[in-house]
Structure 1
Amino acid sequence: MGLMFGYDFAYTWELVVDFFFAIYGYGLAAGSFTLVIGLCTWHHNHKKRLTIFPTRFNRQRREVCFNPEDATEPVFVPWESLSAWVIESQGATQYGIQRQYGMGIGFQHGETLTSVEFPCFGLPIAISHWEAIRGYMEYEINDLKTIQDPLDLQNPGDPSHEGLHTFHNARARMHQQIRDGERNRLSGFFWYLYHVMTLWTIPNHLTEWEVRRIQKMAPHAMPEVMQQWSEPLPKEQWTKPSEELVRMSEQVRQLHKRQPRRPITEIFAEVRRMNPCRKPGG
């Protein structure tokens, strides 16, 4: 700024140095305070894993395990009695129209609807969340890579979570793209610059450490009844899909085969209208 107002370089540099020494103490204190707040928030959320358990899906038993906040024990719900929905809302503000989307699953427990809802970035993404769950339960899809892996950062045999291996895979892919001429060396330089500015592999190491802590914590924190429910069953004891679900699934496949360009949501809706009885599988 000093150069812009006609001051020489020496005066401008002296001004910058004096300004730095005048405020670095405040910056250090503010940074330390922010770090402490962040660590306290992380620790608080991390400890919740001892008492709050995620919804679990068991495709061998074809059941879903919910853990309502006011319940003393987990609640096991048949998969085909589960309901699923997507949420779309919009409102007008001084900045324009704002839209929110979400996805939810739940069941009617007595007179109470127990549900789990979470926000999504768009309606197709909300539907995709449900399709991922349905794919796991109905088609034995075990990971998201089988459905969609846009970054392709997991090699065969890699863990399903992100971590140090995804960083090394991303760097190897970047070098391969440079060799193949898909990107230039300048973009590679900015790739390294970005990761140096984001502390290189420290975030990946922290992720690995967090995953290990959760895996170590989960078996001890999980209620015994849930542990028994999660144990694998012999194949002859696996629960079979109902005849109603098998029939409706076949109707969906036949309609999709005849009208491949028709949105799958419309096909599901038509099959639902064709079978006005209880809806299986959400």
Structure 2
Amino acid sequence: MALFIKCQYHFKFRNDVPTRFHRQRREVAFSPGGGKPPIVVPWESVAAWFTEAQGAIQYGVQRQYALGLGFIDPETGKQHFVELQQPGRPLAMGLWESVRAYMEYEVHTREEIQDPNGLHRPEDPPYEGVHTFHHARRRLHRRHRDGEIGLFKVSMWYLWHIIDLWTIPFHLAEWEIRAIQKAGRKTLPASLEEWSQPIPKEEWAQPSEVLERLSAEVRKRHAQQPNRPITAIFAEVYAEETTLPA
């Protein structure tokens, strides 16, 4: 049954057009599906939130989390909402933060945020796969030779990956990524294909004065209170902005 459900979600990629983020244009393209043309909106007009729901079922308490995105169609004025189910609150918030950092030019390479353990090399593809497993194993042996870890940790690493079916999960991840990439190329409308192309640097859109001012205020308060949740700082600065007199 689990394999059947997985296959259903996997083959949905053959028809679904993903939401695309263009940081040079500072625009987001949403695809409503059903043969309808994509909706392109300014990046700064997109609203984001995460939801948390809890309920009791016959097997116990069930919790659900999701990242929500909302925008208004500039042509029709109609509101649209997209929700992405997530396993937990930190993952929902982290997904939004990764998109936000990418769109705000704060992250340019994968190594800046996702390579603390040397699991990615310049010649590797930009995703986790079988190469990640082999890099991790080489790093494990290097640390053991250098005396950083003992034989017990090495044994537990091997035991865990044997239980986890060795490299099979990594092969499955690569298979799904290739299927998504192949399906995306087939389903992408011609107008969106043209929109997705890079543009000259002199034509890159720039952040608004309001966003730059609010971002500077967020960084200032975060430096003053580094242990305070960044989401609380964002909410506080935004609330103060919306309550200012016109």
TM-score (norm 1): 0.73
Which structure is higher in helix share? Answer: 1
Q: 1:225 to 1:271 in 2, by over 3 A?
A: same
Structure 2 Cα separation of the partners of residues 213 and 97 of structure 1: 35
Aligned to 1:240: 206
Letter in 1 for 2:69: I
Figure out how many residues of one structure are paired with residues of the other and give that number. 242
Contact 2:70/2:82 (8 A) holds in 1: yes
Give the deviation of 1:222 after TM superposition: 1.3
Q: Which of 39, 46, 50 in structure 2 is aligned with 1:75? A: 39
Q: Which of 133, 142, 155 in structure 2 is aligned with 1:167? A: 133
Contact 1:61/1:238 (8 A) holds in 2: yes
Give the deviation of 1:85 after TM superposition: 0.5
What is the SS of the residue equivalent to 1:155? Answer: coil
Q: 1:155 to 1:108 in 2, by over 3 A?
A: same
Q: 1:258 to 1:184 in 2, by over 3 A?
A: closer
Structure of larger gyration radius: 1
Q: Which of 53, 56, 63 in structure 2 is aligned with 1:99? A: 63
Q: Does 1:204 align with 2:170?
A: yes
Tell me which stretches of 4 or more aligned residues in structure 1 moved more than 6 Å: none
Deviations 1:63-90 (A, max 9, x none): 0111113451111111010010111222
Give the deviation of 1:153 after TM superposition: 2.3
Q: Which of 68, 90, 100 in structure 1 is aligned with 2:54? A: 90
Structure 2 Cα separation of the partners of residues 157 and 209 of structure 1: 19
Q: Does 1:125 align with 2:97?
A: no
After superposing the two structures, state which structure 1 stretch, 234-243 or 264-273, moved more. Answer: 264-273
Contact 2:143/2:149 (8 A) holds in 1: yes
Deviations 1:73-116 (A, max 9, x none): 11111101001011122234566654332211121334643222
Aligned to 2:24: 60
What is the SS of the residue equivalent to 2:13? Answer: helix
Q: Does 1:116 align with 2:82?
A: yes
Structure 1 Cα separation of the partners of residues 222 and 162 of structure 2: 49
Contact 2:18/2:184 (8 A) holds in 1: no
Structure 1 Cα separation of the partners of residues 89 and 72 of structure 2: 24
Q: 1:207 to 1:125 in 2, by over 3 A?
A: closer
Q: 1:114 to 1:152 in 2, by over 3 A?
A: farther
Q: Which of 254, 257, 266 in structure 1 is aligned with 2:232? A: 266
After superposing the two structures, state which structure 1 stretch, 126-135 or 149-158, moved more. Answer: 149-158
Give the deviation of 1:219 after TM superposition: 2.6
Percentage of identical aligned residues = 48
Letter in 2 for 1:116: V
Structure 2 Cα separation of the partners of residues 241 and 189 of structure 1: 51
Aligned to 1:225: 191
Aligned to 1:146: 112
Letter in 2 for 1:51: N
What is the SS of the residue equivalent to 1:50? Answer: coil
Structure 2 Cα separation of the partners of residues 204 and 258 of structure 1: 41
Deviations 1:174-207 (A, max 9, x none): 2123223344335434544554555543443444
Q: What 5-or-longer segments of structure 2 have no aligned partner?
A: none
